[in-house]
A and B are shown apart, each in its own frame.
Chain A
Amino acid sequence: MAIEVRIPTILRSYTGGAKSVEGSGDTLTDLLSDLDSRHAGIRGRLITDEGALHRFVNIYVNDEDVRFIGGLDAKLADGDNVTILPAVAGGSLAIWA
């Protein structure tokens, strides 16, 4: 058994073009480490250098945004579906340094 992870277009360069890949782990942190062992670099696109979930990435476990279920500590079980989506955001205020 495994966890299915759906990969957005912008990250498919890390998965050889695959729209979804399988991984394993008891928590989201474990899963992302597992994915990175086979798709080197993908973890760095999701997690900041400080070890937090990137602000403009959404990760869902089944139907839940992980920000509401423990973030990177969110618990996973075999058969779960994880979806990664790029957040869509912006605006006229120049907050981006």
Chain B
Amino acid sequence: MGNLGRVLTIDAAILEAIVAHARRDHPDEACGIVAGPIGSDQPTRHIAMDNAERSPTFYRFDSMEQLRVWREMDDRDEEPVVIYHSHTATEAYPSRTDVGIAQLPEAHYLLVSTREPDTTEIRSYRIVDGVVTEEPVRVVNAGVDQHAVQSYMFGQSPAEVDYECPAGS
């Protein structure tokens, strides 16, 4: 499995829901997943998870909620395509803790920083065997609410972020 050339392609409405979750739980860290059909690499179903730690510096999925959600994904032939969490006082880059615990090599680890009240930093990574590789975030269907999308700041250089807006939007 190569990490080169990987891109996170995500629907603007799902990204907005993730950011809204992160803002709602601020200053505690928020966490969740976006599930998608197995093997598709398409995040289609946003599931906000409880942060069992309820902490501004740590997150952990509640183990019973995780069991329920993972079984539901099994039943629907889905897998966690995106694992997201927020950093509420630091940048959207995986901490040593994030990297040390990451156990889903196939997932996109999406980090959202809410440290700035008006701008949300969003960056995505693969974390495989302790190696972090940043990847571009490609937002699709952004035409519905462009203003919301434009208030985001992505870590990748603008040339690598591909906005795919419907014609005429």
Contacts and interface: CB of A to CB of B under 8 A. Distances in A.
Do the two chains belong together in a single complex?
Answer: yes
B98 A90 contact: yes
A92 B101 contact: no
A57 B168 CA distance: 49
B67 A83 contact: yes
Given A88-B60, A90-B94, A96 B100 contact: yes
Interface string A5-37: 000111000000000000000000000000000
B95 to A, nearest CB: 5
B67 A88 contact: no
B152 interface: no
Given A92-B57, A93-B95, A95-B58, A67 B63 contact: yes
A88 B31 contact: yes
A56 B63 CA distance: 10
Contact of B29 (A56, A88, A91): A91
Interface residues of B, number: 37
A9 B128 CA distance: 13
B119 interface: no
Q: Tell me whether chain B's interface is mostly helix, strand or loop, or mixed.
A: mixed
B11 interface: no
Interface stretch (B17-25, B83-91, B141-149): B83-91
B151 interface: no
A45 B139 CA distance: 37
B66 A88 contact: yes
Interface in A44-62: 56, 58, 60
A65 B83 CA distance: 22
Contacts, number: 96
Contacts of A93: 57-58, 95, 97
A90 B85 contact: yes
Contacts of A83: 67, 70
Contact of B63 (A87, A94, A95, A97): A87
A9 B39 CA distance: 13
Given A9-B104, A83-B67, 10 more contacts: A65-B67, A86-B103, A87-B103, A88-B101, A88-B103, A89-B59, A89-B60, A90-B85, A92-B97, A95-B58
27 contacts: A9-B104, A9-B105, A10-B104, A56-B101, A56-B103, A60-B67, A65-B63, A83-B67, A83-B70, A85-B66, A85-B70, A86-B103, A88-B31, A88-B61, A89-B53, A90-B85, A90-B101, A91-B29, A91-B53, A91-B57, A91-B95, A91-B98, A93-B57, A93-B95, A96-B96, A96-B97, A96-B99
